[in-house]
Each structure stands twice: as C-alpha cells, then as structure tokens.
C-alpha cells in the first residue's frame, strides 16, 4: 500500500543521508522524496512516499524515529491529508494545431505554460501524483515529451493537527 | 574561559566525561591529539597492535563495567580497521565512542592521503556520528557523543576530527557543557502505566509463564530486579546468549540458555508457555527458529527500551517501551501481596512439566579416555575459577560450549560477540576487561581459528602486563563450520581445516608469555591448576580437543523452537 511519510528533522549535514541510508540498508522502498528547510531554518521537513504492509510501515516509522536527527515522524496516509506534487514538463510544439491542443490540455489540468520557444512549451502542473500521471499520459498522445522533472510528493495533514505540536 | 588547542580540548573533554582509558593507535591525522595525551596523566592511553583490537578492547571494557569504551585512531586505514569492532558493538548495543582523525577540512573530498569518509563508512553501524567542523565545537560534540552512546539503547558513536581543528599551534576557548540536551533525542525510560498493568495481569494469570531475559537487562543493571521478580512469582527463567548472568545460571529456577544451541528445557518451556515476558531481548533469528511456528500458545509481553525492537520479528501482544529496570520497578509498585503458597500451587503442574524435560539432561556428553572433550575443558575452567571469572569468547563451537557449560552467576561476566559473531573478538575483549578490573581473573575461551584473527595483541598484553588466561580449544579445524558441513554438506569439509597451525606454546613464549600444551584428558586438571596459579602471567593453554565433537542441542532449521537435535543420532 502506498504511504506518505512526513519527517521533521535537524537541518544538518548528513541527516538526509542517514534517512536514505536507512531505507536502503533495511530494504525499504523510496518512490519519491521531497525535502527542504521549514520556517525555522534549523529544521527540515522531508516527505517520503513508500509502499509496504502495516508491519513494514510500522518498522519504517520506528527505525526512522530512532535516528538521532529526527524530531518527529508521521504517516500522513493514516488520516485526512492534502498532498501535492509539482511537475515541469517540456513538450514539442511543432505545429499550430499541436500548440492549440497542448494549450487546451494545460488549461483543463489547470497548468501554466512557463516558457516558450519556437519548438516547445515548458509547462508547470501541480496536483496529486495521479493527476500528474494523467497529464503525462494525455500529453503524450498530443505532443512529443522532451523532458520532465517532478518534485515528489509533499503533504500536510488536514485540520488543526501539526507536526510541531 | 580557559584557552587551549583543539587537541588539548579533545583530551580535556575526555577527562571531563570521566574517561580513564583510551584504546588506540597513532597516525598522521591524530598526531596533535597524541601530543596532547603525552602532556597529561588523567587519561591512560593503551597502544594496541591493530585498530580492530582497539575497538574490541573498548567494547570488552564497556561490557564488563557498563561505562562507555573509548577508541582513538587515525584517518583512513586506522578508521576503517575499527569498523568490524564498531559493528560488533552496534549489534550488541554496547556503549562506545570512536574518535577518528580526518584529513584537514580543506582536503576533505579530494581523495587526500589516508582520507576515507568515516562518517559515511560507519553510518549503518553507529547509533550516531559527528563530523566536527570547528575547534570550539569539540567539547560539545564529545559530551553529546558520550551522552548518546550510553543512554537509551546504548551503541557506538563516531566523532570524526579533521586535523586542522586539533592543531596544537592554535588556541580556542574551552567550555564543557554542564548538561547535554537534544530536542530530537529523548529515549523513553519509564513504561506506560496502562501497559504495565496489562502485562502484570497477564503474567499473574498465566499457568505456564516464562521469563526470557536478554542483554537489555544487563545493559541497565536490572539483574537483581529480574531475580527478585522471578523468585517472587516462581517463574522459570531462560537467558539469551547476550543475557547470560542477568539471571544466575546456577539458580534452581534457571532453565539455561534458549535458542539455536539452547537447552532442551529452555526451548520446550518457551514453546509450551502460555505467557512469555521478554525483558530486553529481541526475538533474534538465532532464538526463534521458524517465526511462523514460534511459541503458538503464548501471550507475548515485550519490554524493551527500543520501540523498533518490539514487534520487529515476533508480534508482541503487550508491548512495553522502557528500560527493564524502570519497568520492573513499576511492576513491583503495582504488584499486590503475593501469597507464596498459592503462587507455588498455581505453577506446580508447570514446574513438574519442566522437571520432566530436565530429566533428559540434554548437556550430558560421552567422555573419553583418549581425547579431551571440549565440554570437559569448560567444566574444568568453571571449577578452577569457582564460576566467578570474567570469560570472554571468540566465535564458534567453543563459544557455545562456554555459554552452555559455564553457568554465569553474575551479570557482565560473560563477554561475547552475540549479534555479529565476530571471530577475533575474544582476546582483545578480555584485555579490555582486564584493564577495567586489574585484579580479576579474566579468561578468553577461544579456538585455533578465532585466536589467530587478533593474535598480535599478545604483544600488547606483554607491554601492559595483562595476565589474561587464554583457554584455546584446539581442534585443528573451524569447528562450527565443520559441524555444519558434517550435518548439511555430507561431511565435505570445504576449507574448514587448518593443517598449518603454529606451535602456540612457542608463539606465546616468543611474546614473553607462558604456554601450556595439553593433549591428554588426564593432564587437564593439573594444567588448569598450573595456569591459574600463575596469577601475574598471561598463560596460553593450547588444549587439543576432540575434532569430531558437535555442539548439542541444536535447533532443526525451519522447525519450531523445540524441534532439536539432541546428539548426532537423536532428535526431539
């Protein structure tokens, strides 16, 4: 089962490698990873999407929590949550008709064209991972995909809950 | 504020932490620190012959005392040589701090001479590590390292020190922190009261309870509480390999070690129990055998300071996170007066059942007039040390014989590499113990294979006058490998024999020690007596033992805990 795990940790050199190392050392999957400092720059927040049954996920959370640099860990998929992923995608637009169709698709997916050359568009799309997958699939039927980059999932739990509490 | 160099800070911080002994080996990146060591007498440095041995010595020192062991090595090969020792300590949760030199900061990443990424190399086998960037951070990093190493679930911590920050030509203000506080590290020591009540209820209601005690009970010095609980509730107790001595091995309620080479009664008791109270044990694969067949009738109460140990391999019905010591103290607070007669009555059938398993005498073995049996050597050792020695071991058959035939009555007396199974551990570990307890009788039970993995330390023993007694069970083979080859590989002894052994007596003598060769059963007692009469000498006992002896009992692979071979021909 797909899980989104959020980790609050010290923003120190080496902290990220400890978490990544732990995943590979213990044979856990990392499907995506997204990390950056938060408003208190001494801390970083890291979001990992992984997969596993309840027993594996329990071990992952316990093992990660055991790392000295980790303050808190929570499985966002345990409750209601908001998740987003951002993608930049460059597609070939060799004719007017392709350009029109690409623009229509971008609008439907509420994306934005952020860069244009005579030969391609660079598009920004945000949403759940499923939505980005759907966008890629749709776009591939209209235009040639030149390259793309995705940030990996980041997320927060819904409502009043906060990891800093 | 006092001003001093980074190197002086390292030594001063060690003193402020309370370190008495440092095991190490000098080299380019740590010469400044060695210079600072030269100028003082508070911290004694022990010069080893190989850095791996330094780590094992610090480890043995820590196991025997509970205090954190300290290692000091240079960068590159000095640092990487300690890795086996660090992994050994990590697997057995032993508190240790490894100070490693590093190339100057500006050269990190340039593949400089003797550069390795020690923090990276050691990452999967340490509890934590520090790469110190500024001299003024040294006291704080060292204070934190010792705090982390010896709180919560203990473990090794690496402190990597680039050469430029320990430069003796520079001066910096030194301030040692009064208290270490880390917002991201707060181990749970006290158990959850709700869980404790549940656990106690299950334990008191059980008809076939058993205490399963591991190294965690020794790590937090909870042995007397374990004994108190067992006696109060008349519980049978089994110790793990790491837990030997946590509950006295000579106590009538002790049913011996459990697991792969556990006693029949211990494994039977576990398998048939209706309630298992695991104290600081981790349901290791060498204990459980096939997890799907593990103790089918038992309610499992698992007390451990590390939440990640709980329900990792075996699901715990009642998990209790906390130190064994705190949790048992809480148990006693919650326990009502126990009527001793009623309690005995409640468990009478269970004890009767256990007694019937005991009658099999699973540790009995056939003696011989021609060949010395390894079991017999350990029994002799037990007699000649009144069961009160510190005994380290290497890894293999001799380790299991020592674990089974030397019933340790006290904690911290049995010093072995349980989790990692590191050959070469025994001698340096015994040396670490001897440094911690200079007047104690310290033995290293080893074999002709293991001893050669760190035999160079005989030289260190001479330098420091360590009267360790090396009891080498020489079977001219890698005994445990050979045993498996006999059992599983139709006796094809692929690379498990040693046909070019040195003359160990002469070898010991060449290092300045005493060597005694024993070849016949009738010589054994006298030789042991001579060995232990030489109180101030290292004695190397080269004892020729039966090459074809196997360690029994032994669990049968894929079976339940109590599916065991009892001898070459019998099984349960």
Domain end call among A78, A113, A129: A78
**Are A86 and A125 within 8 A, CB to CB?**
yes
DSSP class of B411: T
Q: Do A62 and B182 touch (CB under 8 A)?
A: no
Angstroms from A5 CA to nearest CA on chain B:
17
Query: What is the enclosing helix (H) or strand (E) of A18?
Result: helix A15-25
Q: Do B307 and A66 touch (CB under 8 A)?
A: yes
Regarding whether A113 and A63 lie in a shared domain, the answer is: no
Q: With an 8 Å Cβ cutoff, is A9 touching chain B?
A: yes
If one counts the domains in chain A, the total is 2
Of B131, B184, B312, which has the smallest distance from its Cβ to A68's Cβ?
Answer: B184
Residue of chain A whose Cα is closest to the Cα of B149: A68
Model pLDDT for residues B94-121, shown as the tens digit of each residue: 999 999 999 999 999 999 999 999 999 9
Residues with Cβ within 8 Å of residue B174, at least 6 apart in sequence: B1, B2, B3, B4, B8, B9, B12, B139
Distance CA B4, CA B220 (A): 36
Distance CA A84, CA A158 (A): 13
- Average pLDDT value for residue range B142-163: 98
Regarding whether A21 and A47 lie in a shared domain, the answer is: yes
Hey, which bits of B411-454 come out as E strands?
Answer: 414-415, 442-447
Q: With an 8 Å Cβ cutoff, is A42 touching chain B?
A: no
**Are B61 and B435 within 8 A, CB to CB?**
yes
Q: With an 8 Å Cβ cutoff, is A20 touching chain B?
A: no
Nearest to B221 by CA among B246, B254, B192: B246
Q: Do B131 and A62 touch (CB under 8 A)?
A: no
Distance CA B425, CA B398 (A): 13
Distance CA A57, CA A66 (A): 14
B111 burial (CB, 10 Å; 0-12 / 13-18 / 19+) is exposed
Tell me whether residue A162 is in a domain: no
Tell me whether residue A159 is in a domain: no
**Are B209 and B235 within 8 A, CB to CB?**
yes
Q: With an 8 Å Cβ cutoff, is B124 touching chain A?
A: yes
Nearest to A58 by CA among A74, A82, A38: A74
Average model confidence (pLDDT) across chain B: 97
Residue of chain B whose Cα is closest to the Cα of A8: B184
Q: Do B184 and A18 touch (CB under 8 A)?
A: no
Residues with Cβ within 8 Å of residue B73, at least 6 apart in sequence: B24, B25, B27, B30, B51, B54, B79, B81, B82, B98, B99, B100, B101
Q: With an 8 Å Cβ cutoff, is B119 touching chain A?
A: yes
Q: Do B123 and A18 touch (CB under 8 A)?
A: yes
pLDDT of residue A164: 77
CATH classification for the domain delimited by B193-358, as one of 3.30.70.1230, 3.40.50.1220, 3.40.630.40, 3.40.1190.20: 3.40.50.1220
Q: With an 8 Å Cβ cutoff, is A26 touching chain B?
A: no
Residue of chain A whose Cα is closest to the Cα of B184: A71
Distance CA B83, CA B87 (A): 6
Tell me whether residue A165 is in a domain: no
Regarding whether A86 and A52 lie in a shared domain, the answer is: no
Predicted ipTM of the assembly = 0.92
Distance CA B473, CA B338 (A): 47
Give yes or no for residue B519 having a pLDDT over 90.
Answer: yes
Which residue do the tokens 């000295």 mark? A68
Confidence category of residue B270, pLDDT binned at 50, 70, 90: very high
What residue ranges of chain B are covered by domains with CATH 3.40.50.1220? 193-358
Confidence category of residue B498, pLDDT binned at 50, 70, 90: confident
Confidence category of residue A13, pLDDT binned at 50, 70, 90: confident
Q: With an 8 Å Cβ cutoff, is A55 touching chain B?
A: yes
Paired sense of beta strands A81-92 and A112-116, if any? unpaired
Catalytic residue list contains B44 = no
Considering only CB atoms, which chain A residues are within 8 Å of B124? 21-22, 25
Q: With an 8 Å Cβ cutoff, is B129 touching chain A?
A: yes
B2-174, CATH topology level:
Rossmann fold (3.40.50)
Domain end call among A59, A78, A97: A78
Please give the structure tokens belonging to residue A21. 């190392």
Residue of chain B whose Cα is closest to the Cα of A11: B184
Tell me whether residue A161 is in a domain: no
Model pLDDT for residues B191-212, shown as the tens digit of each residue: 999 999 999 999 999 999 999 9
Confidence category of residue A1, pLDDT binned at 50, 70, 90: confident
Considering only CB atoms, which chain A residues are within 8 Å of B306? 66
A7 alpha carbon, distance to own chain's centre: 14
Catalytic residue list contains B344 = no
Give yes or no for residue B29 having a pLDDT over 70.
Answer: yes
Set B4, B23, B51, B434: catalytic member: B51
Residue of chain B whose Cα is closest to the Cα of A69: B184
Considering only CB atoms, which chain B residues are within 8 Å of A58? 311
Domain boundaries, position A111: 82-154
* Percentage of chain A lying above the pLDDT 70 cut: 99
**Bridge-partner residues for A70, per DSSP?**
A9
pLDDT of residue A165: 67
Burial A34-52 (b: 16+ CB within 10 A, else e): bbeeeeeeebbbbbbbbeb
The CATH number that applies at residue A70 is 3.30.70.260
Distance CA B202, CA B197 (A): 9
Paired sense of beta strands B21-24 and B44-47, if any? parallel
Which residue do the tokens 């408003």 mark? A39
Query: What is the enclosing helix (H) or strand (E) of B89?
Result: helix B83-91
Tell me whether residue A132 is in a domain: yes
Q: With an 8 Å Cβ cutoff, is B187 touching chain A?
A: no
Considering only CB atoms, which chain A residues are within 8 Å of B292? none
User: Distance of CA B244 to CAs B220, B256, B459, B466, Å?
Assistant: 14, 9, 30, 25
Nearest to B145 by CA among B128, B168, B167, B123: B128
Q: With an 8 Å Cβ cutoff, is B312 touching chain A?
A: yes
Q: Is A71 helix (H, G, I), strand (E, B) or coil?
A: strand
Model pLDDT for residues B386-435, shown as the tens digit of each residue: 999 999 999 999 999 999 999 999 999 999 999 999 999 999 999 999 99
Catalytic residue list contains B397 = no
Burial B378-398 (b: 16+ CB within 10 A, else e): bbbbbebbebebbbbbbbbbb
Distance CA B399, CA B416 (A): 8
Regarding whether A60 and A88 lie in a shared domain, the answer is: no
Tell me whether residue A160 is in a domain: no
Catalytic residue list contains B535 = no
Q: Do B119 and A71 touch (CB under 8 A)?
A: no
Query: What is the enclosing helix (H) or strand (E) of B265?
Result: helix B264-272
Regarding whether A11 and A44 lie in a shared domain, the answer is: yes
Regarding whether A35 and A15 lie in a shared domain, the answer is: yes
Angstroms from B87 CA to nearest CA on chain A:
14
Catalytic residue list contains B557 = no
Tell me whether residue A163 is in a domain: no
Residue of chain B whose Cα is closest to the Cα of A68: B185
Nearest to B513 by CA among B549, B466, B471: B466
Count of CB contacts below 8 A, A vs B? 35
pLDDT of residue A44: 96
**Are B176 and B139 within 8 A, CB to CB?**
yes
* Percentage of chain B lying above the pLDDT 70 cut: 100
Cis-peptide into B553, omega within 30 deg: yes
Most A CBs within 10 A among B184, B188, B311, B315, hence the mutation to make, goes to B184
CATH classification for the domain delimited by B374-551, as one of 3.50.50.60, 3.40.50.970, 3.60.15.10, 3.30.1950.10: 3.40.50.970
Distance CA B407, CA B65 (A): 20
pLDDT of residue B1: 87
Q: How many CB atoms lie within 10 A of CB B534?
A: 14
Domain end call among A28, A63, A78: A78
Q: With an 8 Å Cβ cutoff, is A63 touching chain B?
A: yes
Regarding whether A69 and A106 lie in a shared domain, the answer is: no
B164 alpha carbon, distance to own chain's centre: 36
- Average pLDDT value for residue range A31-46: 96
């Amino acid at each position: 089962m797909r899980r989104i795990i959020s980790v609050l940790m010290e923003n120190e050199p080496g902290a990220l490698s400890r978490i990544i190392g732990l995943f590979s050392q213990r044979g856990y999957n990392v499907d995506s990873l997204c990390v950056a400092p938060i408003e208190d720059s001494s801390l970083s927040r890291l979001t990992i999407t992984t997969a596993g049954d309840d027993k594996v996920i329990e071990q992952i959370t316990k093992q990660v929590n055991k790392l000295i640099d980790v303050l808190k860990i929570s499985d966002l998929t345990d409750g209601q949550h908001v998740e987003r992923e951002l993608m930049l995608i460059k597609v070939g637009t060799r004719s007017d008709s392709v350009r029109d169709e690409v623009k229509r698709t971008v609008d439907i997916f509420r994306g934005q064209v952020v860069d244009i050359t005579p030969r391609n568009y660079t598009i920004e799309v945000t949403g759940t991972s499923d939505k980005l997958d759907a966008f890629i699939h749709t776009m591939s039927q209209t235009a040639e995909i030149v390259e793309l980059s995705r940030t990996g999932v980041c997320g927060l739990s819904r409502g009043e809950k906060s990891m800093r509490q | 504020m006092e001003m001093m160099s980074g190197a002086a800070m390292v030594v001063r911080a060690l003193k402020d932490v309370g370190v008495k002994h440092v095991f190490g080996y000098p080299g380019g990146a740590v010469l400044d620190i060695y210079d600072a060591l030269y100028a003082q007498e508070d911290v004694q440095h022990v010069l080893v012959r190989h850095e791996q041995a330094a780590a094992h010595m610090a480890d043995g020192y820590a196991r025997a005392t509970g205090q954190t062991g300290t290692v000091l090595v240079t960068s590159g090969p000095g640092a990487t040589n300690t890795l086996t020792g660090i992994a050994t300590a990590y697997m057995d949760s032993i508190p240790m701090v490894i100070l490693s030199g590093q190339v100057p900061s500006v050269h990190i990443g340039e593949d400089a001479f003797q550069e390795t990424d020690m923090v990276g190399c050691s990452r999967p086998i340490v509890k934590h590590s520090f790469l110190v960037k500024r001299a003024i951070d040294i006291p704080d990093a060292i204070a934190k390292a010792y705090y982390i190493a010896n709180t919560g679930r203990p473990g090794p911590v690496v402190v990597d020190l680039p050469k430029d920050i320990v430069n003796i030509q520079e001066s910096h203000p030194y301030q040692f922190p009064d208290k270490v506080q880390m917002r991201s590290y707060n181990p749970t020591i006290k158990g959850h009261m709700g869980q404790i009540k549940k656990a106690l209820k299950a334990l008191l209601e059980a008809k076939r309870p058993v205490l399963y005690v591991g190294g965690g009970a020794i790590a937090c010095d909870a042995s007397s509480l374990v004994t108190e609980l067992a006696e109060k509730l008349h519980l049978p107790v089994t110790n793990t390999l790491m837990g030997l001595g946590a509950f006295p091995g000579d106590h009538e309620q002790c049913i011996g070690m459990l697991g792969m080479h556990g006693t029949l009664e211990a494994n039977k008791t576990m398998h048939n129990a209706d309630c298992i109270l695991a104290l600081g044990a981790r349901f290791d694969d060498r204990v459980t055998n096939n997890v799907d067949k593990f103790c089918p009738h038992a309610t499992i109460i698992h007390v451990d300071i590390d939440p990640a140990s709980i329900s990792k391999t075996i699901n715990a019905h009642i998990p209790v996170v906390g130190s064994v010591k705190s949790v048992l103290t809480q148990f006693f607070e919650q326990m009502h007066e126990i009527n001793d007669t009623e309690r005995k009555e409640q468990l009478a059938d269970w004890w009767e059942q256990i007694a019937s398993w005991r009658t099999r005498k699973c540790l009995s073995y056939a003696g011989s007039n021609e060949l010395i049996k390894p079991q017999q050597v350990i029994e002799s050792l037990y007699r000649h040390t009144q069961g009160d020695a510190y005994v380290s071991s290497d890894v293999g058959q001799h380790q299991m014989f020592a674990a089974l035939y030397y019933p340790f009555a006290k904690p911290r007396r049995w010093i072995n590499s349980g989790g990692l199974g590191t050959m070469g551990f025994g001698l340096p570990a015994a040396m670490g113990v001897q440094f911690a307890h200079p007047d104690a009788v310290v033995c290293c039970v080893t074999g002709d294979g293991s001893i050669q993995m760190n035999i160079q330390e005989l030289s260190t023993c001479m330098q420091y006058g360590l009267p360790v007694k090396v009891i080498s069970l020489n079977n001219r083979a890698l005994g445990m490998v050979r045993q498996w080859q006999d059992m599983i590989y139709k006796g094809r002894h692929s690379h498990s024999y040693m046909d070019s052994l040195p003359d160990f007596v002469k070898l010991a003598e060449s290092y300045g020690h005493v060597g005694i060769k024993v070849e016949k059963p009738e010589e054994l007692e006298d030789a042991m007596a001579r060995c232990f009469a030489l109180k101030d000498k290292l004695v190397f006992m080269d004892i020729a033992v039966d090459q074809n002896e196997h360690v029994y009992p032994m669990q049968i692979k894929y079976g339940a805990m109590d599916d065991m071979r009892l001898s070459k021909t019998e099984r349960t």
